[in-house]
Chain A
């Protein structure tokens, strides 16, 4: 009731692959790279069918300010440009490349010149890096802060609170140098005085690795946070580290903070150091149906099928396959789904783990309310949604829901609370835009009446 950290749930960790250094998988025969692996406008392809491409070569340029360029992670020939169905249900253009297995490096790869903020942001934009923790928000946009004095702290997100996933853990262990270089870049170009590395305390090796690097007075601190899901949620992390609340409709920067995932930062640092943009990902391959769970480095666009094959295939028939962790991950309909920029894990579960729980009556136990990090009332939201009362949804602030899944995780009646919240958000948006349109019509009508007088 009086706690200073936000609520959450204790989920099983299942970090089976935490000790598994990433292995580079053989180049797949074909990669399919969708043009929308980020929030914002889809990227525009700059290659045509039949073109030869090499590793690190630009294949699509950013489609707007909030967008991100895309580079090839393989060398080979562009087979086709067409539309593919994404797991989200939308069709997006995609570039399919037939690989030649040579992995020829693009000759234009060179470390960018970065001497000031403008060049730094430009380099981040060109790196093709987006939020790799899962959200896929273009990093350059996040770092384009108009007034640098607003940044009180940059929080490096190494919480990795989802079960199974260990790709950030591996970044922090294997690429700590890159993360640290990224921190130096932020300090230099964004003039950040305070940097907090937030890591869940179930990764003590990561905590101590960074603590060793911190020196008194360098403005970098490591915070071992309790392993309480969703510790890695942006707003949760901000609250639990600097005690600030991001107001409704505002951005973290309005609370004085920027949160950047550790792997995202490492990818930025890598580009600025070597000129190699984001073309491959370390992906945790795990789940009850996978024979040898591993961390795998795969070119973006690799069909997940090949990742599973690289991990010895399936020990039992998979019944549910996810992008990302089991709390917020997206179920994919088939194994052709490609590795995306923001894919940090692919999980395959056997029949037992794929069984959908049976819904029963809400018993009003209040567990969903007690565990919601944002103090929302999921049970009331469900009632309002089923009664089709968008005005109630507005008062209940369903729009603040980050869909972390704590409510549904603890619900003893197995109510589909996240699903309802997603739909309720749509209902609320529709209602609000209709309200707005009606208000404008009324205004126009009144203005016309005034005119006629």
Chain B
């Protein structure tokens, strides 16, 4: 007789949804984008824009081809695009950035069933693919010059528009730490602010920590993975070298903060239990240090997260909570 909606309880819902979570992640990524633009110039914005455009466009086209409703509204493709851009050197050719974005979205995410179904972090996997495919451009670092940076930034902005670059190629702190090339490490203040060589979104520790703090405050991420990951890197390197200064540089170098705060906390590809997240973080930390100290590559964050992604289902299962009052069958 009437047209009431009948549905199973609960009949109310909190305000969070996938898009709102992704929006929070994007907000948290903003400080690093601003820092990156100041440090590396407007080209950082351009690379990010290209990655986002191709990630979102790739997802939209893929959904069209397989005749599925479009999922770009959940903003996860935007996050993937931004994260991939943050993992690229600022001088990367734009077509390579676009290619990487398509690999991330189509190969790593959509082909596995879309958001939540992929077992590996799309941005990380794409970065690793690009590292192998475009080894030279992926390791062509530009090192920004030190303060006076607002002036520099303004100059760079105009240069970027005209296509010139005043930044010089140089080794990253990690390469120097490894002792493969000689050079002086940037002062700690530069490490915190981000005036050092590296991928465009990974250098400013302060900007990344600010974003991470926002995600923790909004309860989008929990403290377990970042603390376990960063803590393990710090303690393990301390154990290896016995030098606090060295360990601090290890923590601030490379993509560790970006990885620990934004990539190792990705929901789909990391464990969903507290203990699982701790194990995941510790595993990432161990692998990172092994690669950085004894491996062939100067940086191991991406590889460590990717390797731990593969273990995630097992970690999740092993750390599943014991149901309250449950009796073993």
| A residues at B contact (CB < 8 Å) | 1, 6, 9, 11-12, 163, 235, 239, 245-250, 318-322, 326-335, 349, 353-354, 356-357, 360-366, 369-370, 373-377, 379-380, 394-397, 400, 403, 405, 408-414, 416, 418-419, 422
Contacts and interface: CB of A to CB of B under 8 A. Distances in A.
Contact of A405 (B10, B322, B329): B10
Given A374-B323, A394-B329, A412 B18 contact: yes
Given A363-B115, A375-B321, A375-B324, A320 B20 contact: no
Contact of A247 (B21, B116, B327, B329): B327
A335 B114 CA distance: 42
Given A335-B2, A397-B323, A379 B272 contact: yes
A405 B13 CA distance: 10
B9 A377 contact: no
15 contacts: A327-B11, A331-B9, A332-B6, A362-B116, A363-B21, A364-B272, A366-B273, A373-B324, A375-B321, A375-B323, A377-B321, A409-B13, A414-B17, A419-B8, A422-B8
Contact of A418 (B2, B10, B14, B272): B10
Contacts of B74: 360
Nearest to B329: A394
B184 interface: no
A32 B31 CA distance: 64
A224 to B, nearest CB: 23
A184 to B, nearest CB: 32
Contacts of A326: 9-12
Given A361-B114, A410-B14, A412-B17, A334 B9 contact: no
Interface string B133-157: 0000000000000000000000000
B5 A395 contact: no
Interface of B: 1-14, 16-18, 20-21, 71, 74, 76, 113-117, 267-268, 271-275, 320-327, 329
Given A320-B11, A361-B116, A397-B326, 14 more contacts: A12-B12, A163-B12, A247-B325, A249-B327, A326-B9, A363-B21, A363-B115, A369-B272, A375-B323, A376-B323, A377-B321, A379-B272, A400-B326, A418-B9
A365 B137 CA distance: 35
Nearest to A327: B10
A329 B9 contact: yes
Contacts of A363: 18, 21, 76, 115-116, 267-268
A196 to B, nearest CB: 20
A413 B18 contact: yes
B84 to A, nearest CB: 18
A333 B76 CA distance: 38
A335 B3 CA distance: 11
A331 B5 contact: yes
B17 A413 contact: yes
Q: Is the interface of B mostly helix, strand, loop or mixed?
A: loop
Contact of A361 (B117, B322, B323, B324): B117
A396 B322 CA distance: 9
A277 B2 CA distance: 34
A362 B18 CA distance: 9
Nearest to A329: B9
B272 A365 contact: yes
Q: Which of B12, B13, B320, B327 has the most chain A CB atoms inside 10 A of its CB?
A: B12
Contacts of A370: 274
A448 to B, nearest CB: 29
A416 B8 contact: yes
A306 B329 CA distance: 49
Contacts of A366: 267, 271-273
Contacts of B117: 361
B10 A408 contact: yes
A257 B326 CA distance: 18
B10 A413 contact: no
Contacts of B326: 248, 397, 400
Nearest to B321: A375
Given A9-B14, A328-B9, A414-B13, A361 B115 contact: yes
B268 A364 contact: yes
Q: Which of B7, B10, B16, B74 has the most chain A CB atoms inside 10 A of its CB?
A: B10
B312 to A, nearest CB: 9
B267 A11 contact: no
A241 to B, nearest CB: 15
Contact of B12 (A11, A239, A369): A11
A353 B4 CA distance: 12
Contacts of B4: 318-321, 331-334, 354
Q: Which of B4, B6, B11, B323 has the most chain A CB atoms inside 10 A of its CB?
A: B11
A235 B9 CA distance: 20
B174 to A, nearest CB: 31
A374 B324 contact: yes
A251 to B, nearest CB: 12
A238 to B, nearest CB: 10
A356 B7 contact: yes
Contacts of A413: 17-18, 116
B24 to A, nearest CB: 11
A292 B5 CA distance: 22
Contacts of A394: 329
Given A375-B322, A377-B320, A395 B18 contact: no
A370 B8 CA distance: 22
Nearest to B268: A364
A17 to B, nearest CB: 17
B5 A364 contact: no
B274 to A, nearest CB: 5
Contacts of B14: 9, 409-410
A235 B325 contact: yes
B18 A319 contact: no
Contacts of B321: 369, 375, 377
A369 B273 contact: yes
Nearest to B17: A412
